[in-house]
Structure 1
């Protein structure tokens, strides 16, 4: 099993030429795009450590550590761990993957830095439910430049590409410092709701022209169409309700487990809890 994500290949971390050799030798190769574990099983032996199957690890250019065990219970658990990964998100690699990966793989000796694809929402996060302006439009030139500068500094994984897309919002000055990076936000708009991750707030302009541009990230895997009415019904089912638009801060934190899960269910997510 390898990390055959576009990021891993484009950075040079995964070499499709080596994968092609395995396929030609009859080896089954499985791609898991979130893989970071270094676990190996051969017969009755398991190795768990930090080393990749790479030239740098082989030649000792970097310091690695690993544990080698023949304990039958441990080896069985390691095999089960690998099987679970295959069942949970693995896809068999074929010749079509090799062709596409070769186009992504860097031909220069110096590969770009690897920006690992972020994992699913498994880390605990705070969850805010509130009302927003319907669309991220109407920015002044100063606000637009501030937003573009913020997007230009995002890691490559978060820029406009297949999985993530940045979203800019004009907000009041009191919004500065309200959210923390990693907070999740349910934006109630004119009709539809969207779930986004807060990235940062930036001050735009000077003097009386100051404003805050909020930068959020949309995960394009969450393509379910969710309306405000859907959110309202989900909350009513657990004895709660939508915040009023005139409430302080135009919303509230969802801190009750039943509320959080009811809302996250609309996007097919399990609640990992609060930090």
Structure 2
């Protein structure tokens, strides 16, 4: 496989897919979303800081308001999976190592996590991972071409447990409507959370999106290819629940039922 570092030259974006009636998905309209994160001054190690200073230009892409070419970014044609909020990158690293035939584009906003992931990429010799340090909604809206993703991973997003903060949760109808347009036919969306009220909201929102179909009845079993994190293992040992949801964009028309239904 011939993999190269990202090139700054980017193609002109394709036209956005319109909904019935000619309107864009709500989350595709600039200035219409509430951020699902708040920047805080967090601890960053010397190793993470050094990685940010020395490896960003090699493995990280700058945010742009133009659609990117995955073939150009990764130096090859391969199915590309987007991961939103990879944290310290433990899960991303394990999945990328286990699936070298796929590209993985990780989106994270916090310096410590980005620095940790950059270090993992370098130390593990990963060549199928790139990073964008920016708001996920804007990355999805502006950088990801329609019908281009083989999958999307959203693992343990901030549950924003207080009721007044629920509007900050990432999994909202407008965002899922936009996300579905970025999935190729037959591609999947895999979410996981350890907060039951958020799991219930996820199931309701995903089930209400006509471009997506649930791959099972209700919640899914954790697939073998999603590693169980140390935090998750500790929570399960204490009796906490974890809920996985796996939806897909059917291969047929966006509003047609599943082909195997």
Q: TM-score range by the shorter chain?
A: under 0.3
Question: What is the TM-score normalised by the length of structure 2?
Answer: 0.27
Question: What is the TM-score normalised by the length of structure 1?
Answer: 0.26
Larger radius of gyration: 1
Q: Please identify which structure carries the higher strand content.
A: 1
